[in-house]
Amino acid sequence: MLRELDEAARALVAPRVVLFDWHATLVDTLDAMYHAVDDVIPQFPELGLMDALISHDQAKTQEDARLVDYVRAHLQLHPKIKAERRISRTDIFEVLFGEDDDAKHVAHEAFNNAYRDHYGEVQPLEGGELDLLIEMNAFDVRLGILTNRNREFFERELEIVDSGAWVDLFETTVCGDDSSRRKPNPDPILKALENLGVKPAPNCWYVGDSTTDVTAAKRAGITSVFFNASGWDHAWINKIFPGTPAHPHQPDAIVDDFTEFKWLVEECLEVGHDWPGETVR
């Protein structure tokens, strides 16, 4: 059973490091992302990816199975998925290819080639992110960004958002082409912590909007905060994080927006749950 927010605040270790996902967590780049995915999926036959699409018994949910069936039949995303824009390209590729890292690598590389034709517009997801990031620094919380986006694109987007005001607020950034394996593998998180000289522990939080973000955090041995910016209801959240042997990873906390996230951090600092060897002020 997934924890309610107040229960999570009582249970969590206060953060000394907070790593954020980029797209659909801190910023909105949905138009460019979906245009690139639209460009990539019709290329699946020539990329040799059709046989890599998962079978029905490999799908986590019936909805995932229907997504795969639609892509297999029509070489595009279902119009409803594109209209709702609730699922990231990383999760799309996870649904389509499951544990096949080679297929996902090919898909991500094709996405990067397509994204180059569409990216350039980026804005804060909610509008109050800059104030939040400044406050995190005031709390002596060390900040980083993890993204499956290639550095070529990410650095340009970071320079654009809020006219570059975010650039100096992060001690480390790790992009999709900075490690040999992308999320949901833990490598990018472990690299970010290594850059900070910090060992994986519950006082390191990763905040992200996708199941791949949660899986990466749990595999890395740190605290996972699921950022429910898409507004999924509780029934769906329990479906995508079933806690089964096949899909064991669940978030340690769920927030619907940055107001809730700020409350969670402040509450954890107030409660004073710390990690051995440190003092939370």
Per-residue pLDDT tens digits for 91-126: 999 999 999 999 999 999 999 999 999 988 889 999
All structural domains of the chain with their residue ranges: 5-29+121-271, 30-115
pLDDT score, position 270: 81
pLDDT > 80? residue 151: yes
pLDDT > 80? residue 30: no
pLDDT score, position 199: 96
Quote the percentage of the chain above a pLDDT of 70.
Answer: 96
CATH of domain 5-29+121-271: 3.40.50.1000
pLDDT > 70? residue 276: no
pLDDT > 70? residue 278: no
pTM over 0.75: yes
pLDDT > 50? residue 24: yes
pLDDT score, position 181: 85
Average pLDDT over residues 256-272: 89
Residues near 171 by beta carbon (within 8 Å), at least 6 away in sequence: 142, 143, 144, 195, 196
pLDDT > 90? residue 234: no
Residues near 134 by beta carbon (within 8 Å), at least 6 away in sequence: 169
Closest CA to 173 of 39, 77, 157: 157
